[in-house]
Amino acid sequence: MRKGGGISIWFFVGVSLLVNGALILGAGVWEILYPPTNPVVLFRLHANVWWGAALLLLGIVYSLKFSPNRVSS
Amino acid sequence: MTQMAAMFVVERLVHLAAVDVVIIAFYFALVLAIGWYLKGQSGTGEDFFMAGREMTAWIAGLSFLSANLGSLELMGWAAAAYQYGILATHWYWIGAIPAMLFLALVMMPFYYISKTHSVPGYLKLRFGESARTLSSVSFAFMTVLMSGINMYSMALVMKVVLGWDINFSIWVSSITVAVYVALGGLRSAIFNEVLQFILIWAGALVIPIMGLIEAGGWTNLKAQIAVRASSEYTHLWSTLGSFKDNPMGIHWTGIVFGLGFVISFGYWTTDFLVVQRVLSAKDLRAAKMAPIIGAAFKMFVPFIVILPGLLALAVLPQKLVGEGAAVASGGHSYNEVLPLMLARYAGPGLLGLGITALIAGFMSGMAGNVSAFTTVWTYDIYRALIKKNASDEHYVKMGRWTTIIGVLISVGTAYLVMSFLSIMDYVQALFSFFIAPLFGTVVLGMLWKRTSPAGGFWGLLAGTVSSISMWAWVKADPSALRYVALSPNARDMAENMYRALWSWIVCVTVTVVVSLLTKPKPDSELVGLVYGVTPIPHEKDMALWQRPIFWGAVVFIVFVLFNIYVW
């Protein structure tokens, strides 16, 4: 939803998913390199790696698709 | 969420890593940035209070659901699932889906075509000023009180889960909401609700996925629950034949007629907190599709709320207990089930996102309360009763100040509750007094043109008074429960449902009788307000897949199949 050529809400959603995804993926990779002393249950599945990657990909798609530059061009 | 002070043990449940704090801080920065960005698009009353009436069906629909999806609801119903099993799902399925579809397909045309700003505003058009005043004053009063209660409860959750100071949580969250709603009005609230909706799912969905992997799938989960609790915990309907056969102490008639009909229809079709989001839709089709989209997502909310509670029954090594027992033994209570499951599976980063989901849920609910309060105060009380002919600019300025004052009243209520915990029980009961009768008044007003202004007002008043009287009767004499709830074995939830049902029946009866004895409005004054005299745009020119009725049918069929699957 935009008004007068403004920024779409989906762009904000994309940015949020992109930043959160990158941070979670980074934290997951860090845990693989430096395993914690008290891991969470099912640590071997590395949920933060694949969940972070999924959010990052979705965030990239939404940020690009609803980018203000792309929308206004 | 009653007796909050006693419900948690003192030690904090989770410890945040640096990346978790960054994720939470980024969330606060982003919602404030959205409010700041939208401040230039809220100059007129239509923009500030109605978001310009230009929202798409998806945005209005997600916002409609998000305003209801508060964090206390997430935590409270996860706790209820642990305590009562899958019965808690009724509040998401039969307690929501039929009402949301009814709002979309039957009631939305009248709300939308009448161009009302609010539900009390519709009552003014249909029944006159007295019905509007009764409805708007009670709604405004209860909305800010509920907002304060939710604020206090959330601050307490943050204290126990994260160790945050209660004052810090109350002021940071309330100032953030006040800033972004005062700056951008309803549009800012809606934009943030969509963002919050996405974050709630992104943060909460990991728990059921990991939980089902650990439990070995749904079939194994049911088997483990049967061993550790009871097989009744995974059946939705088959135990409702008697009050004594299920842990809720409820009968299927209470669920179907009390929850599924009166309470659910009352909340989803007349509570302005949620209806306001749909009124912001850009056209009638979007306004009809928005609740259908909301209903489709509502059906799946049990996957992130109820399923974690059921999974906890199977996988948590410790047994969760009631609040009093938890305090006495130093153990964990039912209400901690969601944070416990989050801490079980979520490492650094995911934990921050999960906590962000809880904060987002709280803020979306609070922004919903505040923006609805602002509109009802400005249009239905201030403009109607105090200052009638001021400029549009004046009302927008009043709206911005009312947002801030509404938040401050909520903060005051939060501190009041902190000192007098029993207030929570009374306010939550008070809120329920108005919902069921209001549904009776609105639905009769929309569907029966013979309903007169006097009938609407006296029906609403009689329904509300009868609800309060029944509540007071049971408080004074607990044995009266056998009359109000039809059984001495009924518990609190059953009492609420039957009280709602009786008050709705009183409202409808009085409305019909008084209407038949008094003069109705002429048809010419009912155009755009009532079925039979309102030209409703037909949808025959649309392809089948574009019609709201088609998607409503799809959602209803899936709803029925879900119920049968876990019968």
Q: Which chain B residues contact residue A19 at CB under 8 A?
A: 26
Q: Do B34 and A12 count as a contact with CB atoms less than 8 A apart? A: yes
> Coil, strand, or helix at residue A19?
helix
d(CA B493, CA A24): 40
In this complex, do A27 and B345 lie within 8 Å of one another by their Cβ atoms? no
- B33, B162, B65, B45: CA torsion to nearest 10: -40
Residue of A nearest to B204 (CA): A51
**What is the chain A residue with the closest CA to B42?**
A3
> What amino acid is encoded at B306 in this protein?
I
Place of tokens 């939550």: B428
8 Å CB contact of A40 and B26: no
For residue B349, give how far its alpha carbon lies from the nearest alpha carbon of chain A (Å).
4
Within 13 Å, how many C-alpha atoms sit on residue A56's CB side?
15
- Are the C-beta atoms of residues B358 and B74 closer than 8 Å to each other? yes
Asked whether residue B7 carries a pLDDT value surpassing 50, the answer given is no
Using alpha carbons only, what angle is made at residue B115 by residues B430 and B265, rounded to the nearest 5 degrees? Answer: 35
Cβ atoms B321, B333 nearer than 8 A: yes
Q: What is the mean pLDDT of residues B147-168?
A: 83
**pTM to 2 decimal places:** 0.90
3-state secondary structure at position B55: strand
As given in the structure block, the two tokens for residue B387 are: 């200052």
ipTM, 2 decimals? 0.93
Alpha carbons B300 and B310: distance in angstroms, whole number: 15
Token digits of residue B162: 């994260």
Tell me, rounded to whole angstroms, the distance of Cα A48 from its chain centroid.
11
Check whether A10 has a pLDDT greater than 90.
Answer: yes
Q: Looking at the predicted structure, is the pLDDT value of residue B423 above 80? A: no
Cα gap B374→B385, rounded to integer Å: 15
Residues A21-70 pLDDT 10s: 999 999 999 999 999 998 999 999 999 999 999 999 999 999 999 998 87
pLDDT band at residue B302 using 50, 70 and 90 as cut-offs: very high
Contact A40 B345 (CB under 8 A): yes
* Whether the Cβ atoms of residue B350 and residue B206 lie closer than 8 Å to each other: yes
What phi-psi label fits residue B123: left (phi over 0), alpha (psi between -120 and 50 degrees) or beta? alpha
Rounded to an integer, the average pLDDT of B57-69 is 90
CB neighbour list of residue B478: distance below 8 Å, 6 or more residues apart: none
User: CB–CB of A20 and B202 under 8 A?
Assistant: yes
Contact residues, chain A, for B55 at CB < 8 Å: 1
Q: Is A43 an 8 Å CB contact of chain B?
A: yes
| Contact criterion met (CB below 8 Å) for B56 and B350 | no
Q: Which two tokens stand for residue B435?
A: 């919902």
Residue in B180, B191, B193 to test binding to A, most A beta-carbons within 10 Å: B191
**Residues B382 and B120: beta-carbon distance below 8 Å:** no
Contact flag B210-A41 (C-beta cutoff 8 Å): yes
Cα separation, B499 vs B480, in Å, equals 12
B54 and A51: CB-CB below 8 Å? no
DSSP-derived 3-state class of residue B321: strand
Closest partner residue to A42 (CB to CB) among B27, B214, B356 is: B214
Q: What is the pLDDT of residues B192-236, one digit of tens each?
A: 999 989 999 999 999 999 999 999 999 999 999 999 988 888 999
3-state secondary structure at position B68: coil
Q: Could you tell me which chain B residue has the CA closest to the CA of A15?
A: B30
Q: How far is A35 from chain B (nearest CA, A)?
A: 11
